[in-house]
């Protein structure tokens, strides 16, 4: 029986890998085929039919192949990237002005909402977010709603004072170590090839300031939340989700140590998704049919479009990933010609001489 279960698990894992590989293949392959088909039907290229429409059709077909359980994650990730790219485009056109420390403000709002939902009964239904919060804050549920009378409040608070003194330090150190390792491990793996020739280069990674900054970010978040929620409990003589709302908002200031628009935007998108699903369940918001399929298709098409016309507005990490999976085909587009036709500054990151040299090397 056990062997049969292991065999089933291995087969299912293999099928999932094949399915995801087919999803990527269709997304890229159908994109190229659609470009050729639309060019044949129209007789010429246009601003939208060259990239956006072919990518939209290809992305729609591809996401239908992917496993349903992964569609939501893919949709959220691509939508997050599309929002960031749109913001960069608007900023590039000077249609909006960047807000100083805007990522910190966004992160504070997102963390305040997240912790409010976490402390509210049945408020945060998302399993992944719940698991992450429990991992960093611990399994102690003393922050959940506890309303007591004035006669009982003094005894309860005195009992929890000692507990709090022991309760904030361990999670803080755990969060600091986790943040430190998140940055350290990729750096060590990148330098491990020098372990015999230049060992000093490997050991210097352990003192990299990025590792400490990430550790301070997560560690201070946990410490601020724990302490502020406890203090508010003393002042208000109750433990409820309102305390968590303010504590979460102040804990968001921890991003001062590790500013990241990517983290802030992703968390805000994730919490927005949770709030929307709760609104749908409560009957307050309308349910959008095939929302995950549509958001993935339109977001991916928009990103392919941006990677052709305005690659300088796309997140660098996504641009590097796209070049890996396409063998740098996006680098071979004649952006000088595109600039002549549409004036989109497509070649800003592709000087003419470098482009010709890269093509020659291939």
Give whole-number Cα distances, 210 to 179, 182, 315, 332, in Å: 10, 10, 19, 34
Q: Tokens for 161?
A: 């004072």
Helix (H) or strand (E) holding 58: helix 52-65
What's the pLDDT score for residue 154?
Answer: 53
Question: What is the reported pLDDT for 10?
Answer: 61
Report percent pLDDT > 90 for the chain. 38
Confidence at 165, pLDDT banded by 50, 70, 90? low
Taking the alpha carbons of 312, 318, 319, 320 in that order, is the dihedral positive or negative? positive
Kindly list the domain boundaries of the chain, sorted by start residue: 1-99+287-362, 102-258
* Alpha-carbon Rg for the chain in angstroms: 25
Q: What is the pLDDT of residue 129?
A: 84
Q: Which residue shows structure tokens 């966004």?
A: 106
Q: CB-based contacts of 302: which residues, under 8 Å, 6+ apart?
A: 52, 82, 85, 86
Per-residue confidence (pLDDT) for residue 292, from 0 to 100: 92
Q: Hey, which bits of the chain come out as E strands?
A: 146-147, 238-239
- Contact yes or no for 178/136 (Cβ under 8 A): yes
Position 360 pLDDT exceeds 60: no
Q: What is the dihedral of CA 99, 104, 109, 112, to 10 degrees?
A: -170
118-137 tens-digit pLDDT: 988 777 766 778 888 988 88
Reference 221, options 178, 275, 166; nearest CA is 178
Residue-wise pLDDT for 266-275, tens only, equals 999 999 988 8
The one-character DSSP state at 287 is P
Instruction: Kindly report which listed range (16-30, 129-143, 144-158, 228-242) carries the lowest average pLDDT score.
Output: 144-158
**Distance (Å, rounded) from C-alpha 264 to C-alpha 105?**
9
Output the pLDDT for position 336. 78
- pLDDT: is 332 or 5 the higher one? 332
pLDDT band at 255 (very low <50, low <70, confident <90, very high): very high
pLDDT score of 303: 94
Q: Which has more pLDDT, 342 or 359? A: 342
Q: Looking at the predicted structure, is the pLDDT value of residue 184 above 50?
A: yes
Handedness of CA 44, 49, 50, 56 (dihedral sign): negative
Contacts of 78 (CB under 8 A, 6+ apart): 295, 296, 299, 300, 303
Which residues is 146 bridged to in the sheet? 239
Q: Coil, strand, or helix at residue 334?
A: coil
Q: What's the mean pLDDT in 68-86? A: 91
Alpha-carbon gap, residue 32 to 357, rounded angstroms: 24
Q: What was the pLDDT predicted at 361?
A: 44
Contact partners, residue 65, CB within 8 Å, separation at least 6: 19, 22, 23, 26
Q: What is the pLDDT of residue 254?
A: 96
| Average confidence score pLDDT of the chain | 83
> Residue 362 pLDDT more than 60?
no
Question: Does residue 155 have a pLDDT over 60?
Answer: no
- Answer yes or no: is pLDDT of 68 > 60: yes
Percentage of the residues of the chain whose pLDDT score is greater than 70: 83
The closest of 264, 242, 244 to 255, measured between CA atoms, is 264
The pLDDT value recorded for residue 152 is 53
Instruction: Give 331's pLDDT tier (boundaries 50, 70, 90).
Output: confident
Q: Tell me the mean pLDDT in the region 203-212.
A: 85
Q: What band does 357 get if pLDDT is binned at 50, 70 and 90?
A: very low
288 pLDDT more than 60: yes
pLDDT tier at 143 (50, 70, 90 boundaries)? very low
Provide the sign of the torsion angle of the four alpha carbons 154, 158, 161, 166, taken in this order. negative
Q: How far apart are CA 151 and CA 201, in angstroms?
A: 62
DSSP state of 208: -
Pull the structure tokens for residue 289. Answer: 């049919």
User: What is the rounded CA–CA span in Å between residue 249 and residue 260?
Assistant: 16
Q: Give the lowest-confidence range in 41-55, 257-271, 302-316.
A: 41-55
- Mean pLDDT, residues 304-327 taken together: 89
What's the CA angle centered on 342, arms 33 and 99, to 5 degrees?
100
The pLDDT tens digits for 103-120 are: 999 999 999 999 999 988
Determine the pLDDT at residue 324.
86
Q: State how far the alpha carbon of 24 is from the alpha carbons of 28, 31, 65, 71, 77, in Å.
A: 6, 11, 10, 13, 15
């Amino acid at each position: 029986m056990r062997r049969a279960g292991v065999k089933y698990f291995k087969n299912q894992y293999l099928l999932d890998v094949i399915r995801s590989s087919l999803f990527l293949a269709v997304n890229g392959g159908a994109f190229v085929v659609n470009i050729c088909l639309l060019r044949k039907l129209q007789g010429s290229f246009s601003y939208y039919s060259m990239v956006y429409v072919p990518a939209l059709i290809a992305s729609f077909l591809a996401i239908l192949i992917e496993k349903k359980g992964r569609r939501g994650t893919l949709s959220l990730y691509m939508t997050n990237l599309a929002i960031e790219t749109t913001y960069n485009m608007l900023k590039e056109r000077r249609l909006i002005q960047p807000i100083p420390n805007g990522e910190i403000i966004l992160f504070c709002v997102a963390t305040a909402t997240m912790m409010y939902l976490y402390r509210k009964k049945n408020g945060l239904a998302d399993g992944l977010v719940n698991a992450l919060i429990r991992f960093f804050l611990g399994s102690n549920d003393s922050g959940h709603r506890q309303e007591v009378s004035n006669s009982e409040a003094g005894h309860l608070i005195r009992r929890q004072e000692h507990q709090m003194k022991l309760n904030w330090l361990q999670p803080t150190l755990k969060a600091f170590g986790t943040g430190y390792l998140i940055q350290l491990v990729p750096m060590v793996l990148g330098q491990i090839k020098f372990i015999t020739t230049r060992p000093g280069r490997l050991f210097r990674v352990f003192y990299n300031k990025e590792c400490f900054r990430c550790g301070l970010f997560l560690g201070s978040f946990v410490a601020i939340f724990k302490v502020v929620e406890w203090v508010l409990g003393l002042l208000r003589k109750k433990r409820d989700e309102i305390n968590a709302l303010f504590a979460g908002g102040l804990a968001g200031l921890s991003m001062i140590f590790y500013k990241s628009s990517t983290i802030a935007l992703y968390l805000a998108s994730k919490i927005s998704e949770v709030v929307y699903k709760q609104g749908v369940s409560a009957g307050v918001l309308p349910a959008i049919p095939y929302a995950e399929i549509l958001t993935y298709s339109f977001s991916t098409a928009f990103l392919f479009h941006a990677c052709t016309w305005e690659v300088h507005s796309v997140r660098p990490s996504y641009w590097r990933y796209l070049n890996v999976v396409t063998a740098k085909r996006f680098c071979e587009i004649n952006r000088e010609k595109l600039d002549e036709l549409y004036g989109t500054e497509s070649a800003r990151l592709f000087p003419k001489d470098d482009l010709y040299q890269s093509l020659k090397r291939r």
